[in-house]
A and B are shown apart, each in its own frame.
Chain A
Amino acid sequence: MPLLLKQIAPPEVPLEADNITPDRITGQTPAGVEKLTVMHGNETRRIGDFFRVTGQYDGVINLQGDHLGRVKFIGARMSRGVIRVDGDVGEHLGAGMSGGAILISGNAADWVGPEMSGGRIEIRGNAGHMTGSAYRGADMGMTGGEIIIHGNARNEVGNAMRNGLIAIAGNSGDFTGVNMLAGSIFVSGELGIRTGAGMKRGSVISLKDAELLPTFDYSCTYQPGYLTLYFRYLTGLGLEIDDERVRGPYKRYCGDSVEMNRGEILLYSG
């Protein structure tokens, strides 16, 4: 039986609930979980002030409620287990997580999986800005793990991303892969402007054509063998990718030439 956290009162200001992780909840009774702290503005409050906790942790935490979009830092720094959210979530979901899985049935606000190093975040709806990104002033964003978004994502997906996988079934905003260092970003829908600006290495793969910065140079049109591995993997996670896009061909652009010029943007050109 999963541990159920059912929201009983909407917070006046967003809650910072970085104690809602399997790492902190393992071994706790429901009453013990209710005593764990959350930040409500500048006040230290208890989880029990906002959630009724029932059930027993069996590796899964289930959050339910109509105002979970006002709860931040769910799953921050988690290393194991599963968090399943029935509804939307607030900012900083899975910040710095290193393992386990977070499954969101609704939408996520900005900063999904910032600086995460492992595990998987899956969002059935849309995500805000800065998915998988570095915090402002930091050298590196996501360094491992996977973020799967079944809807759209807004700006700066994978900012300074160093490794890992981000897949977006819908559209991606501006500056996708900005300052990217390595890793892979797949976008099935439309790309915004200035994709890959400042990227050193890594791959942005678009299943549609897109307009790119002039600092990206066309190399060739070919069928990248490694893409099939990813497409098979993503299909297994529930993303729909038609056979034509699996087979290619793709136009390869190298850039950003204002940086190392070792990154690539692949645009489907069927």
Chain B
Amino acid sequence: MKLKSTEIVDTFAEAFKMWGARVIITAANRQWARAAAQAMTGFATSVIGCKCEAGIESILSPGQTPDGRPGASVLLFAMDKASVGKRLLERIGQCVMTCPTTACFNGLDGDNAVQVGSQLRYFGDGFQGSKKLAGRRYWRIPVMDGEFVVEESFHVQASVGGGNIIMLGTDEKKTLAAATAATRAMAEIKEVILPFPNGVVRSGSKVGSRYKTLPASTNTAYCPTLKAVTDSSLPPDVNCALEIVVDGLTETAVRDAMTAGIHAAAKPGIRQITAGNYGGNLGQYKINLHELLAD
């Protein structure tokens, strides 16, 4: 299948069941809200090495936040509910509570919840207090600029991680431009994040390694420097490959983001758009690229 001059490979992205949470961070102004969100989503590119994947879903206007201040919506994903809880506790405690003027709220509804504010409250050394309003409890922890307000529990829901597209280009400049265009288009989709730097990853991985201690290693089939010495998946005139990984609260959101990314990345100089998978043996979701475009 061709999209403009780009071939869309007949393959699928293999995605995984994860658990996700949405965190609404507010602050006195947009800069501080963004600072806290960036800190919280730092070192959260891959669940393999970072224990979670996180990113900024959107920047929020005062009218979109619980306390009427500027804010940011953060999505965080891990492999199970308990892990989401642990990561939220660490990251809200170390990255949001520490940031001047911030407050932190749950951004999801549902039946599954993890305790965050009820754990962080102990930082208050006995001077913490809580307020219950409309069925939701908020903890007030005294800090040096006043109080940190954090919701007691955060809802988590079954989510989808590891959706992806891989752009194969004739050179670095064109591939980078296509990846940038794709991430911009994908960022418009709600309920997804792109956890890698600016949404793009160059060090795609395969399962396993010749070194026994490593669970994953570089994706040799897509490394242009190894075309001559490996079973390469790259066409002869491709000299650069970049991947975009997408995690979402729903499979639909992940599919929508991938579709938007493919359309935006199909440009002159991009020979193929493909996707990463493990033969369909590991992930619970197979997202076929041709089906996305047919939809």
Contacts and interface: CB of A to CB of B under 8 A. Distances in A.
Contacts of B67: 225, 228-229, 232
A184 B138 CA distance: 13
A226 B68 contact: no
B134 A233 contact: yes
B66 A229 contact: yes
B149 interface: yes
B146 interface: yes
Contacts of A165: 133
B69 A226 contact: no
Contacts of B66: 229, 232
Contacts, number: 44
A223 B132 contact: no
A226 B132 contact: no
A165 B135 CA distance: 12
B147 interface: yes
Residue among A163, A229, A230 with the highest chain B CB neighbour number at 10 A? A229
B146 A228 contact: no
Interface in B117-167: 127, 129, 131-134, 138, 140, 146-149
Given A223-B146, A228-B69, A262 B129 contact: yes
A207 to B, nearest CB: 17
Given A233-B133, A262-B129, A226 B138 contact: yes
Given A223-B146, A228-B67, A184 B131 contact: yes
A226 B140 contact: yes
A253 B130 CA distance: 17
A224 B101 CA distance: 10
B103 interface: yes
Interface in A217-242: 220, 222-226, 228-230, 232-233
Contacts of B129: 201, 262
A224 B68 contact: no
Given A201-B129, A262-B129, A232 B68 contact: yes
A230 B133 CA distance: 7
Q: Secondary structure of the A side of the interface?
A: mixed
B68 A225 contact: no
Contacts of A203: 131
Interface string A154-170: 00000000010100000
Nearest to B148: A225
B134 A225 contact: no
B149 A225 contact: yes
Nearest to A165: B133
A224 B146 contact: yes
A258 B140 CA distance: 23
B69 A229 contact: no
A220 B66 CA distance: 25
B147 A226 contact: yes
Contact of B68 (A144, A201, A220, A228): A228
B147 A224 contact: yes
A133 B132 CA distance: 18
Contacts of B103: 225
28 contacts: A144-B132, A163-B132, A165-B133, A201-B129, A203-B131, A220-B146, A224-B140, A224-B147, A225-B67, A225-B103, A225-B140, A225-B146, A225-B147, A225-B148, A225-B149, A226-B131, A226-B147, A228-B67, A228-B68, A229-B67, A229-B133, A229-B138, A229-B149, A230-B131, A230-B133, A232-B67, A232-B68, A246-B68
Given A165-B133, A229-B131, A229-B138, 19 more contacts: A144-B132, A163-B132, A184-B131, A222-B147, A223-B146, A224-B140, A224-B146, A224-B147, A225-B67, A225-B140, A225-B146, A225-B147, A226-B138, A226-B140, A228-B69, A229-B133, A230-B133, A233-B134, A246-B68
Interface of B: 66-69, 103, 127, 129, 131-134, 138, 140, 146-149
A-B pairs, 5 with minimum CB distance: A228-B67, A225-B149, A222-B146, A225-B103, A226-B149
